[in-house]
Amino acid sequence: SSEITIPKDALPLAGAEGPIPGLDPAKLKGLVFDDRNAKKEGKWTEGTGLKGFVGHAYIYASAGSNSSVTWQFEAPNTGKFDLRISYLPHENRSSRVKVLVNTRAGASPHSINMQKAAPLENDFISLGTFSLTKGEAVSVVISTDGSDGNAHADALQVLPVE
């Protein structure tokens, strides 16, 4: 029978989209960019059925959909950085998802088998260590080009290498 009072700071604490059901990007090491921070082309579907995702959801696109997702950022400092993407494995994922890292030094192509679990903590896989200059433009692109199943995109992690 008491009146319900909502604290004035409830919405800022929850964020504009409500509480984060997945891993909070702000609590992970390094810089973490969620799939909602990426530019999407083609048809991507948002999902939450596989647990362990970063942020509010993950996205996936089917083979032959000519879809891509691109994270763009500027290097926070000069130094070496481990660039990682996160994905959740599933039998409908592609065994050859194309991932392209673009830096000032050039393009670095990768093929990821997303049917197998990512080997690092929080379902991340390393794309390699890159020497970057502060303010350098970097992009990481996941595409369905040549895939034999769904491509999955969840987050990009940028970790300084000491």
Percent of the chain with pLDDT over 90: 86
Mean pLDDT calculated for residue range 59-86: 97
Contact 114, 95 (CB under 8 A): yes
Complete DSSP assignment for 70-133: EEEEE-SSSEEEEEEEE----TTB-S-EEEEEEETTEEEEEEE-TTSPPSBGGGEEEEEEEEE-
Whether pLDDT at 113 is above 70: yes
Q: Rounded to two decimals, what is the model's pTM?
A: 0.89
Mean pLDDT of the chain: 94
Please tell me the chain's helix, strand, coil percentages from 3-state DSSP, rounded to the nearest 5: 10, 45, 45
Strand partners, 81: 130, 160
Confidence of residue 132 (pLDDT cuts 50, 70, 90): very high
Residue pLDDT, tens place only, 33-71? 999 999 999 999 999 999 999 999 999 999 999 999 999
Residue 6: the pLDDT is 75
